[in-house]
Structure 1
Amino acid sequence: MAPATASPATVVLIPFCVPGHLTPMLEVGKRMLRVGFCGNADDGRGAMSLTVLLAQLPESHRAPEIDEIIRREAAGASEHSGFDVRFHCLPAEELPDFRGGEDFISRFMQQL
């Protein structure tokens, strides 16, 4: 019987879909892949993939730069760095009424 091979670990990021948060989160994720998160990526335990879940904002609130960041990162991840980076866009939801920062985030996340 052949030994079971472990599938690579996956880091899942859930950034806010705004350029000021998405870009730094992607850099953190790529750094995790580069160093192997749990140690040196060269030791055989560092094979990892990065999955980015994007909670899309309604079209009226979406920053046009987001689509460009995703296109650039998706193309660059495979062509230049060799990283396994995947983007999953979740369906857009209408934003809840704003009643303060904590209430907004709580209600927005409940709708996902």
Structure 2
Amino acid sequence: MENTIYTVSLKDGQLRLLHLSPGCDSEPLTCMTSIEDADAPQHYEAVSYLWGSMDYKEVVHCASRDVEVTRNGAQALRRLRLKDNARVLWMDQICINQADLQERSQ
């Protein structure tokens, strides 16, 4: 499974945001990401959760790629997802390129 959704690396002063698509209960999780100016980003909410074991993963369909997140992360997204509007979030597991040590340390 392709885990990388990062076609553009973040520069200093930028952050990646998650636009969680609307949905209900057990419908698949879908999203897109955007890169914003960290000094003046659009309104967003930060998600705080315990990552949990990577042995139990779920898929989030992000634009044209699938991203694996922990079960806890997927449950958090399902609870935060709105039924009729997108929700803009910052979630470390998706918004930070975990394979990029420099990005992770920013």
Q: TM-score, normalised by structure 1?
A: 0.24
Q: TM-score, normalised by structure 2?
A: 0.24
Greater relative CO, 1 or 2 (CA 8 Å, sep 6+): 2
**Larger helix percent:** 1
